[in-house]
Copies of this chain bind each other. A is one copy, B any other.
Amino acid sequence: MKASQFFISTLKEAPADAEVVSHKLMMRAGMIKRLGAGIYNYMPMGLRVIRKVEAIIREEMNRAGAVELLMPVVQPAELWQETGRFDKMGPELLRVKDRHDRDFIIQPTSEEVITDIARQELRSYKQLPKNFYHIQTKFRDERRPRFGIMRGREFTMKDAYSFDRDVASAGRSYENMYGAYCKIFDRLGLQYRAVAADTGAIGGDRSHEFQVIADTGEDAIVYCPSSDFAANIELAEAVALLDARGTAAQALVKTPTPGKATCEDVAALLGLPLTQTVKSLVLATDELDEQGVIVKSTVWLLLVRGDHELNEVKAGKVEGLKGGFRFASVAEIDDHFGCKPGYLGPIGLKKPVKIVADRTVAQMSDFVCGANEADFHYTGANWARDLPEPDLVADIRNVVVGDPSPDGKGVLAIQRGIEVGHVFYLGTKYSAAMNANFLDENGKPQPMEMGCYGIGVTRILGAAIEQNHDARGIIWPDAIAPFTVVLCPIGMDRSEEVKLAAERLHDELQALGVDVLLDDRGERPGAMFADWELVGVPHRVVLSDRGLKEGQVEYQGRRDAEATKLALAEVLAHLKGKLKL
């Protein structure tokens, strides 16, 4: 293609509202254009990347035996009422009424519609397993859309749904999709990690997030460099850091710690390691009557080591907290501890509270904790001797770098990631709610076992840029670059030789199926190079009058520090090598 037949619009400066580098670079490279909060036009340059991402996803989904269809953007509310999501979902579900005042939603995903299709179309075990997918516009009315198209409101997602006759078969469908996702992200040319993720209420171990590795990612990915363990921070198991509880060596002493309300301050004041201190977090659970009125509240004290952080998702799996919890009010704290936050601890309570100790805390001895008296802490505290054993011992903390890997094969590392895909075993959650049954060999109706598999198509663009950029702009992987090769002729309007050589190379590359752009805009070399470095085209060939007189052109890969001189006769072979053609 020639630049004059395309639309190129680059900016020197990113708009002020662009926070993250991918957003800035996409705006500057003219890939997207803001239409409203979290709503973007995909400009020609950006759309080319989207189409390439979609094509790779489509090929691998088809290869994995999934069948493409297309479900509507505007969906009747009835189906969403069947599963209860119409009422249960918050304002992120965009609701709309038609001219007859009937309720519709703008789809954020399509579990309901695909389950409706499945219950009509998949009647017999002979038709299973089946996997349907579509690549379609989604809308989520985010409270605070941000990071450009990484957390927009309108976006493109590939969502697939598998239907199986039993759990074992659903497991194979899950593994099949897991494998397809690995192929997809391999082909996209991104560094990623598939990490185990929480399955929430469904249970089981079949949930993986596909995370693109990027320092700027919102998610923490836990992995073990010496094994294949990888999980997100919610799921990564934190083992006890002490094998057994030490014997009590110190006496319990109430120590003045005036104004020292954090473990860090207390440890510094007392000259003790932070690992000797225990942090107190006070939660509460409520029992409601049928009218939803609180009839009873229970106060909980969760204890983690001073250098650790509570993980709320893990806390939510503790028996008694599964139904939901909240942080306790100051009044509740005062009522049970007789003290303000900052000096709370498990010893000397005014009223009983449920005590949950993290695994490591449960093994500690001679520890420091709040004395339930302002400006005082205890030192030398010991379970059983100074306070009863905890009511519960559980994994309630985030892992930290250097923790033993739960598979026993080394220590954990943490990196940042951007979630771009998720495979998830749904079980019969939707099929049971919507009566999506098939008849088994005995003619008996059984609910279908389902899985869902999403890829954020447009988010991949942002994640790819967060991972691959430098000070000059984007560095696209070959497979998804808007153009694979750009030809930059210098003085094409003055030199017939440059023009002919550029056009011939353009035609030769195009004949090979290479996505090549000939920049015939007549820009000066500096501006031209800056544009293509910003846009991130991975391979550049510069043709100039002077070079051609010596039979030479210049090649530069987007990551190369400088250009390489090549004989004009060799450039095609050189590019074929680079592009593995």
Contacts and interface: CB of A to CB of B under 8 A. Distances in A.
A468 interface: no
Which of A43, A72, A73, A130 has the most chain B CB atoms inside 10 A of its CB?
A: A72
Interface stretch (A93-101, A196-204, A224-232, A390-398): A93-101
B99 A6 contact: no
Interface string A138-163: 01010100000000011000000000
Given A41-B70, A98-B94, A130 B76 contact: no
Interface in A48-93: 50, 65, 67-76, 91-92
B154 A67 contact: no
A47 B130 CA distance: 17
A117 interface: yes
Given A73-B73, A94-B98, A106-B106, A113 B143 contact: no
Nearest to A137: B73
A9 interface: yes
A180 to B, nearest CB: 14
A325 interface: no
A154 B68 contact: no
A256 interface: no
Nearest to A136: B137
Contact of A96 (B50, B68, B75, B94): B94
Contact of A7 (B72, B99, B132): B132
A254 interface: no
A281 interface: no
Contacts of A116: 35
B94 A69 contact: no
A457 B116 CA distance: 25
Interface string A113-127: 100110011000000
A91 B96 contact: no
A36 interface: yes
A44 B69 contact: yes
Nearest to A7: B67
A36 B103 CA distance: 11
A65 B5 contact: yes
Contacts of A91: 99
B67 A106 contact: no
Contacts of A192: none
Contacts of A94: 74, 96, 98
A42 B67 contact: no
Given A67-B7, A96-B106, A76 B35 contact: yes
B7 A74 contact: no
Nearest to A70: B42
A110 to B, nearest CB: 9
Number of copies: 2
A195 to B, nearest CB: 31
Nearest to A1: B62
A69 B43 contact: yes
Interface string A206-232: 000000000000000000000000000
Interface centre among A71, A98, A116, A120 (most CB of B within 10 A): A98
B96 A7 contact: no
A75 B42 contact: no
A76 B40 CA distance: 11
Nearest to A116: B35
Interface string A28-44: 00000101100111111
Contact of A41 (B43, B69, B130): B69
A68 B47 contact: yes
Interface centre among A74, A92, A96 (most CB of B within 10 A): A74
Contacts of A75: 35-36, 39
Contact of A36 (B40, B65, B76): B76
A120 to B, nearest CB: 8
Contacts of A40: 72
A47 B70 contact: yes
B117 A41 contact: yes
A483 B73 CA distance: 27
A143 B72 CA distance: 19
Contacts of A67: 5-7, 44
Contact of A143 (B70, B92, B99): B99
29 contacts: A5-B65, A7-B67, A7-B69, A7-B130, A33-B120, A35-B76, A35-B113, A36-B75, A36-B76, A36-B104, A39-B75, A39-B76, A40-B72, A41-B69, A41-B70, A41-B71, A44-B67, A44-B68, A50-B70, A72-B154, A73-B73, A73-B106, A73-B154, A74-B94, A96-B96, A96-B106, A98-B141, A98-B153, A106-B106
Given A9-B121, A41-B70, A73-B139, 10 more contacts: A7-B132, A35-B116, A39-B74, A41-B72, A44-B68, A44-B69, A50-B70, A94-B98, A95-B96, A99-B141
Q: Which A-B residue pairs are the 10 nearest by beta carbons?
A: A91-B99, A42-B70, A36-B76, A96-B96, A7-B67, A44-B67, A99-B141, A72-B154, A44-B69, A39-B72
